Amino acid sequence: MNPMEQYRARATEFEARARQEADPAVRIEWENIARSYLRLAEQAARSKASATAPAYQPYVPAQPQQVAHFELTPTPPR
């Protein structure tokens, strides 16, 4: 089971605990924990997606461009 699946399983577990909780304050906390685990699952999914994406390749021109070279010479005073 990969991390994303583990986080989702834990979120489901915490949602079930929230449904069974009689104390409203405690129920809210279980729901908050469940939402946190769902966010972790989403982050794990994005992380996995970005790890499989191709690495950034900088643009390199096929042929180097010729750059004009000018030499500055002082102009004699008049």
Is 16 contained in some domain? yes
Is 20 contained in some domain? yes
Tokens of 44: 């794990």
Boundaries of domain holding 38: 3-48
Residue 76 has pLDDT above 80, yes or no: no
Predicted local distance difference test score (pLDDT) of residue 49: 72
Tokens of 42: 């989403």
The number of domains in the chain is 1
Residue 75 DSSP class: P
Is 70 contained in some domain? no
Is 76 contained in some domain? no
The b-or-e profile of 22-49 (16+ CB within 10 A means b, else e) is: eeeeeeeebbebbeebbebbeebbeeee
Is 37 contained in some domain? yes
Is 67 contained in some domain? no
Predicted local distance difference test score (pLDDT) of residue 1: 83
Is 53 contained in some domain? no
Residue 47 has pLDDT above 90, yes or no: no
Under the banding of pLDDT at 50, 70 and 90, the label for residue 34 is very high
Under the banding of pLDDT at 50, 70 and 90, the label for residue 46 is confident
pTM of the model: 0.63
Is 71 contained in some domain? no
